[in-house]
Amino acid sequence: MSEDYASRSTTAKSATATSTHSTSSSIDWKSQVIEGVAPLERDPQLLRNKNPYIVVTADYVVKMKGHSDAMALFPKLSGGSGTSPGPPPEPLLAIPIHNIVSVFDSESTRPSFGLEIWWRADGTLGFKHTVFYFNLPNEREEQMQHIVRAINVNNRDTSEYTRFPWEVSAPIRRLFAAEEPSYQHQELNIFPVVPRGVTRRDGLTKDGEKSRNTEGRSYYLAIGAHLCCYIEICKGQVKRGELILKHSCFGLVTLERLRGHWTPHEERFILSFR
Domain spans in the chain, listed from the N-terminal domain onward:
8-16+164-273, 25-157
**What pLDDT score does 108 carry?**
72
Strands (E), 84-235: 93-96, 100-105, 113-120, 127-134, 189-192, 218-223, 227-235
Mean pLDDT score across all residues of the chain? 79
* Distance of alpha carbon 29 from alpha carbon 77, whole angstroms: 12
- pLDDT digit string (tens) for 21-35? 345 668 899 999 999
Q: Is the pLDDT of residue 96 over 90?
A: yes
pLDDT band at 147 (very low <50, low <70, confident <90, very high): very high
- Domain 25-157, second-level architecture: Roll (2.30)
Number of H helices, E strands in the chain: 3, 14
**Which range has the worst mean pLDDT, 13-27, 153-167, 188-202?**
13-27
Count CA atoms within 13 Å of residue 91 on its CB side. Answer: 22
Cβ pair 234, 220 in contact under 8 A: no
pLDDT band at 223 (very low <50, low <70, confident <90, very high): very high
**What pLDDT score does 47 carry?**
61
pLDDT band at 161 (very low <50, low <70, confident <90, very high): low
Cα 99 to Cα 93, 147, 271: the distances in Å are 14, 12, 26
Q: Is the pLDDT of residue 208 over 60?
A: no
- pLDDT digit string (tens) for 171-204? 999 999 999 999 888 888 998 998 886 666 544 4
pTM above 0.85, yes or no: no
Q: From the CB of residue 220, how many other CB atoms can be counted at a distance below 10 Å?
A: 20
Q: Who's near 68: CB < 8 A, 6+ residues apart? A: none
